[in-house]
Amino acid sequence: MVAICENTMLTDADRAVWASYTRLVSPLPGHERPELPASEPSAAAPASPRNLAAPPPRTRAAAFPVAIGSHPPGVDSSTWHRFRTGKLPVSRTLDLHGHTAQGAFHVLGMFLRAAHSDRLRCVEVITGRGSSASGGVLQRELPLWLNLPELRPFVLAAAHPHAANPGAVRLLLRRQR
């Protein structure tokens, strides 16, 4: 073994992996590729990246995507009925009128994180109806944003509080464990 510093020891396999990696990297202009140490074993094959990688962290099963108005797994029918019909009280409301899409996304992320940390159960996001026939930008983007990895862990379900009002969406937040 070769000592790099007091606490770090490299094995021959580590050195072989490093040597195979440095062959793939081109040096900066004005610099040369560093020479490999003379004691590099010629018979040692570099370990495959699959063997070097740490095992993936154990996580729960992939969450189902949030679809506005569809009954998600994990919500009992009584709670879903109260939530879908607007009988579950809203604890906090976010109005996104006047925001650009990028600004609205950042405000929504902060809002959901704060609501989740405050242990709120039901919140409402107002996007507005939009001026085009297909709805506004925020109204079209909200379902996509809710399914992004940074926001998906907070949201359990989404529904319009009233069929005639597609510009508002109620969100049922996950409980903290």
Phi, psi of 74 (to 5 degrees): 95, -5
As a whole number of angstroms, the distance between CA 25 and CA 168 comes to 52
For residue 36, the model assigns a pLDDT of 60
As a whole number of angstroms, the distance between CA 152 and CA 169 comes to 15
For residue 55, the model assigns a pLDDT of 46
Domain segments of the chain as ranges = 2-52, 77-173
For residue 38, the model assigns a pLDDT of 56
Q: Average pLDDT of each block of 10 consecutive residues along the chain (177 residues)?
A: 56 80 79 63 49 44 74 88 88 92 94 94 88 77 91 90 80 87
Q: Report domain 77-173's class.
A: alpha beta
